[in-house]
């Protein structure tokens, strides 16, 4: 009887530990996770070490429905939401799904700015934690993801860059972004969320 009780107790503890470990694993959001009328508002500010303000304002994204299809509206464009939530599990993605504490990958993006300058961002990424995080919009369970690497462009610019993304699965986006790029500090924080 003691052996059966010990086996039962061991299996129960393993089950509890397994469930607890699985609680901080997040899959990529799907189309079904969004709803018409959802809205996110961030404030942002970018300042050099000498005090020059290079960015200051607000950014808004919202979900709208047209002809039964969902779209994400930003300041510059309207995107079909099904394009944004396409499964993306490449090892060079911004978020390498599923997210979980301890996961590591290399984020790589090649881009072209509005003026035609081409560049790349290559950073080693790691999910550092999953815990309650507070921003102006409220307190949410969130992952802290650190990105460290370099940004370069065809005009000869090169800088070391470190980003910290605080990603809240409940909101399907980051709630805070901090970027340090040589002498420049950029911070973006969620100040409003509504459904």
Terminal Cα-to-Cα distance of the chain (whole angstroms):
54
Strands 184-194 and 138-153, sheet pairing: unpaired
Backbone angles phi, psi at 97, to 5 degrees: -75, 150
- 130 forms beta bridges with 143
Question: CA 39, CA 49: separation in Å to the nearest integer?
Answer: 33
Enter the DSSP assignment of 121.
E
Q: Dump pLDDT digits (tens) for 21-64.
A: 445 799 999 999 999 999 999 999 999 999 999 999 999 999 99
Reported pTM: 0.84
């Amino acid at each position: 009887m003691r052996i059966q009780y010990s086996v039962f107790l061991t299996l129960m503890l393993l089950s509890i530990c397994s469930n607890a470990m699985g609680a901080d694993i997040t899959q990529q959001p799907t189309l079904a996770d969004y709803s018409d009328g959802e809205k996110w508002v961030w404030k942002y500010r970018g300042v050099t070490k000498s005090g020059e303000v290079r960015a200051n304002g607000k950014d808004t994204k919202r979900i709208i429905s047209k002809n039964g299809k969902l779209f994400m509206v930003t300041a510059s464009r309207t995107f079909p939401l099904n394009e944004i939530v396409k499964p993306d599990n490449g090892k060079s993605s911004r978020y390498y799904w599923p997210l979980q504490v301890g996961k590591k990958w290399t984020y790589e993006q090649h881009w072209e700015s509005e003026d035609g300058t081409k560049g790349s961002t290559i950073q080693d990424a790691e999910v550092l934690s999953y815990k309650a995080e507070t921003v102006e919009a409220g307190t949410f369970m969130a992952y802290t993801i650190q990105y460290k690497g370099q940004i370069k462009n065809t005009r000869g610019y090169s800088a070391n860059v470190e980003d910290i993304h605080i990603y809240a699965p409940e909101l399907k986006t980051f709630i805070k972004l901090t970027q340090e790029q040589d002498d420049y500090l950029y911070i973006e924080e969620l100040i409003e969320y509504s459904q």
